Amino acid sequence: MSRRSEVLLWGAQRISAMVLALCVVVHLITMIYAVRSGLSGAEILGRTQGNVGWFAFYALFVAAVSVHAPIGLRTILAETFNWRGRSANVFSAIVGLSLAMWGLRAVMAVFGGGQA
């Protein structure tokens, strides 16, 4: 991978980390607030389905995870297992795409009202 690509990956991981920091805080506060008096799953779904704002928030959350995690995983593979090069890049990309696919599937189910 070219040095330019390495630098851009680093930049993408930093920016996604900033997004994740915000998303995690909002997510935790929301979860604590939502269940403070014991909401049921049905009640939570009743509030989330069709809510465009929360859909956009969690779609962003999933996107940030899907960018951040595979870049970090690629570094861990290189430094811990000495697995570098094209195969490690492809593996990390598959992990990232899988996270995006499963994450967005969950977001669709909770906010879009589809089948989980």
Partner 1 sequence: MENLQVRIWRGKENGGFQEFEVPRQESQTVLDVVTYVQRKCDPTLSYRFACRVGVCGSCAMTVNGVSRWTCRTHVDKVAEDNKVEIAPLRNLPVIKDLVTDMSEFFDKWAKARGRFAGATTRKDGFAPVSPESKERKRVDAGIECIGCGVCYSACDVVTWNKDYLGPAALNRAWTLVNDVRDTERAERLAAVAGDAGCHACHTHLNCTERCPKGLSPTAGIAGLKRAVLAATLAGEI
Please, which of residues 57-76 interact with partner 1 by CB under 8 A?
75
CB distance 42 to 101 below 8 Å: no
Q: If binding is defined by CB under 8 A, does position 26 make contact with partner 1?
A: no
For 43, the token pair is 């009640």
- Between 8 and 35, whose beta carbon lies closer to partner 1? 8
Of 38, 80, 86, 116, the residue at the interface with partner 1 (CB under 8 A) is: 80
CB of 85 to partner 1, least distance (A): 11
Of 39, 60, 77, 78, the residue at the interface with partner 1 (CB under 8 A) is: 78
Q: How far is CA 44 from CA 24, 50, 59, 63, 111, in A?
A: 18, 12, 18, 23, 10
Q: If binding is defined by CB under 8 A, does position 3 make contact with partner 1?
A: yes
- What single letter denotes the amino acid at residue 83? W
Q: If binding is defined by CB under 8 A, does position 86 make contact with partner 1?
A: no
CB distance 40 to 34 below 8 Å: no
Angle between helices 52-81 and 3-34 (to 10 degrees): 130
Q: If binding is defined by CB under 8 A, does position 11 make contact with partner 1?
A: yes
CB of 79 to partner 1, least distance (A): 4
CB distance 20 to 65 below 8 Å: yes
Binding site for partner 1 (CB under 8 A): 1, 3-4, 6-8, 10-11, 75, 78-80
